[in-house]
Amino acid sequence: MTDDSNDNLFTAELAVGTSTKKVVISELSMTSCVARLTFRVKPFQRGMLRLIDDKTDKPFKPIKTTIESVSQKKSDPEAYYTVIKFNDMVKANHGVVQLLKSDNSSADDNEQPVVRANKNSLRVSPVSCRMCAQQHIPFWALQSRSMLTKSNIFEVPSYVEALPRKDFCDFNLIRIIVCPSCYFASNDIQDFKKASTDDELVKPPFKKERIIEHWNANIEERRSLVEPHLNGFFSEERSLEQGLLSYDLAIITSNEIFRADEDKDPKRRNYNPIRKIVYYLLIKAEVLMINDRVEEAQKLLEMVLNRLEEIFPFLNNEPSIRAGFLMGMLGLYFEEYRKVAQNLTFLKGYNQDEHLRKSSDEYKTLTTTTKKLDEAFQNRDEYSKANLTRLQKPF
């Protein structure tokens, strides 16, 4: 996507093959968009996209399209994110110009001013909290092609330097968005509500009614964590300590969502909140490590390993592959080589019956992660905490 694409969400109808379903559109531009789908499509498939006017709920004229790519996100494993290229030259009756112009118009008199990013490496979208309805919360996102990154052995990025004509931003410090009213915290925009989004299409991956009472009862505990760090906490200028605190709030949030699901059969529970916690702990460990707080980072990595081992028996498909890879890499780091061998055996035997299509994302994830873990196991000494400098990959 180009930097001039639109970061707000819109609804549309996508027809591919014999299926026509409503989808959510982001990164809308004059030539393409990204669609969040709950059904499978294949690259190079042709289709028709009909944008819907978010004010009148009426559809525009359909646009001929081609599916360019399909991917999934760790934070939203049930969905497919599809880059869609417009084959038609966009005209007025297609609705793209109207939606882009409407989104860039000035706010109503009753609304707060539009929040804009001070750094040109960021873009910001206003969202509201699904828990307390607090509005005008800035949701920060990193502009594409704005920052040079370096991934550690767990595939967690750190931000090294800005690319030419872009402002540097350590995005790991501000990627968690926190509601200033109830302190709900997440890095996933689907956990918040956008004004142009149809709630029937983009439901949050949690049941608000199950947690709202307990969430409100504990608001003072969360407030006591934030109040000593208020200055700049809700801006793009978070300090190191503020950034670390934001992950603590996100972990509290995900734990609360998972707690509300505790009465279910363990085999049927939704383990995505725990997978989010693993992600938050890994990023927090990376932030601590690059700031020379090694012992704190290592304690978090031990927590990650424990959480993964708890939920691994209940995971399937891509989540189980990613968990097996992470547990293997953590085993290398802590020199628990028997565990590494077990996870490598799991990955190598995962597709023994060849049930995966070679074009599927699951197959690609399996082959990539198996190769990485196997190569690391062959050079295991270089990946131990005794020999590894911080968490960066050995060369």
pLDDT at 11: 87
- Please indicate, yes or no, whether residues 155 and 209 belong to a single structural domain of this protein: yes
- Please indicate, yes or no, whether residues 92 and 156 belong to a single structural domain of this protein: no
Domain of 59, in residue numbers: 10-104
Q: Do the domain assignments include residue 141?
A: no
- Quick: pLDDT tens for 11-37: 899 999 888 888 888 888 888 899 988
Is pTM beyond 0.85 here? no
Q: Do the domain assignments include residue 92?
A: yes
**Complete DSSP assignment for 181-237:** TT--EES-GGGEE-TT--TTTS--SS-HHHHHHHHHHTHHHHHHHHGGG-TTTTSS-
Number of structural domains in the chain: 2
Largest CA distance in the chain: 64
- Please indicate, yes or no, whether residues 247 and 362 belong to a single structural domain of this protein: yes
* Residue that is last in its domain, among 37, 70, 104: 104
- Please indicate, yes or no, whether residues 154 and 73 belong to a single structural domain of this protein: no
Q: Do the domain assignments include residue 110?
A: no
Q: Do the domain assignments include residue 33?
A: yes
pLDDT at 201: 47
- Domain with residue 60: its CATH number is 2.40.10.220
Q: Do the domain assignments include residue 131?
A: no
* Residue that is last in its domain, among 104, 136, 158: 104
Q: Do the domain assignments include residue 128?
A: no
Backbone angles phi, psi at 287, to 5 degrees: -60, -45
- Please indicate, yes or no, whether residues 178 and 82 belong to a single structural domain of this protein: no
- Please indicate, yes or no, whether residues 267 and 160 belong to a single structural domain of this protein: yes
- Counting DSSP H helices and E strands in the chain, the numbers are 9, 13
* Residue that is last in its domain, among 50, 83, 104: 104
Which structure tokens are listed for 175? 């990627």
- What stretches in the chain show pLDDT beneath 70? 1-7, 75, 102-115, 195-205, 262-263, 395
Residue 351 contacts residue 307 (beta carbons within 8 Å): no
Q: Do the domain assignments include residue 140?
A: no
Q: Do the domain assignments include residue 64?
A: yes
pLDDT at 108: 43
